[in-house]
Amino acid sequence: MPARNTETATSINMKKISNNPEETLQLGKSLGCSLIAGDIILLYGDLGAGKTRFTQGICYGLGLTKDSYIRSPTFTLINEYTGRVPIYHIDLYRIENQEEIYSLGLEEIMFNQGVTIIEWAEKLQDSKNPDQRIMNIQERMEVYINSIDDSQREFTFHSFFAEPRPFPDFTLL
Ligand SMILES: Nc1ncnc2c1ncn2[C@@H]1O[C@H](COP(=O)(O)OP(=O)(O)OP(=O)(O)O)[C@@H](O)[C@H]1O
Ligand SMILES: [Mg+2]
């Protein structure tokens, strides 16, 4: 029986507005600069919200160069890149049931010494118990992206880390 998620870490919240794809890239980059091995980023938001664009930014912040090929792993489900730590970029859009998630071996990936970024983290919700996730992910940052119009996105960050961390300085870049 897989472990259930219980909330122990406290949540710290922040909101940011992005006015265009470049700003989304910059937000991701600021976050990426602040990440360390073992971190898990859960991305929530509709089709075209900007999850992949934001992930590209995270990857640049983790040391990938701008010519790196970063796109939704919609068919491969998991892409791996090498930045200053290994980066696992996962897209759960096509996942149809929880067994498929278990078969991906996500736990092994997430608790490895890399940074894991998961698009469509909604799919980790337990269908029978919607306020629970099916993986035991305690320390994480949840990022909710809400499309306001064609070019504006509202980002809400919830950081759950046992050791409180400063939020990335989103103004620095
Ligand atoms: N402020 C913005 N931030 C990010 N993307 C934006 C913004 N404004 C417009 N866009 C456009 O929205 C689209 C976002 O695409 P992206 O692939 O990043 O979304 P996604 O959330 O990963 O979608 P999917 O669910 O299909 O994986 C791009 O076409 C981008 O140009
Ligand atoms: Mg995507």
- For the stretch 113-172, pLDDT in tens is 899 999 999 999 887 887 777 787 888 999 999 999 999 999 999 999 888 788 888 876
Q: Calculate how far, in angstroms, residue 45's C-alpha sits from the geometric centre of ligand 1.
A: 10
Question: What is the pTM (predicted TM-score) of this model?
Answer: 0.91
The domain ranges of the chain are 15-161
Going by their DSSP bridges, the two strands 10-18 and 153-161 should be labelled as antiparallel
Calculate the alpha carbon distances from 137 to 20, 63, 93, 158, 162 in Å. 31, 25, 19, 14, 12
* CB neighbourhood size of 149 (10 A): 6
Task: Give 84-120 pLDDT, tens digit per residue.
Answer: 999 999 999 999 888 888 888 888 888 888 999 999 9
Give domain 15-161's CATH superfamily. P-loop containing nucleotide triphosphate hydrolases (3.40.50.300)
* Burial class of residue 6 in the structure, from the number of CB atoms within 10 Å of its CB (0-12 exposed, 13-18 middle, 19+ buried): exposed
Residue 55 Cα: closest atom of ligand 1: 18
Pocket of ligand 1 (CB under 6 A): 18, 20-21, 23-24, 45, 47-53, 72, 93, 119, 151, 153
| Ligand 1, pocket-test mutation among 52, 56, 143, most atoms within 8 A of CB | 52
Over range 47-70, report the average pLDDT: 91
Separation of CA 141 from chain center: 7
Test site for ligand 1: of 19, 22, 53, most ligand atoms within 8 A of the Cβ: 53
Atom of ligand 1 nearest to the CA of 24: 3
Q: Whose CA is nearest to atom 31 of ligand 1?
A: 21
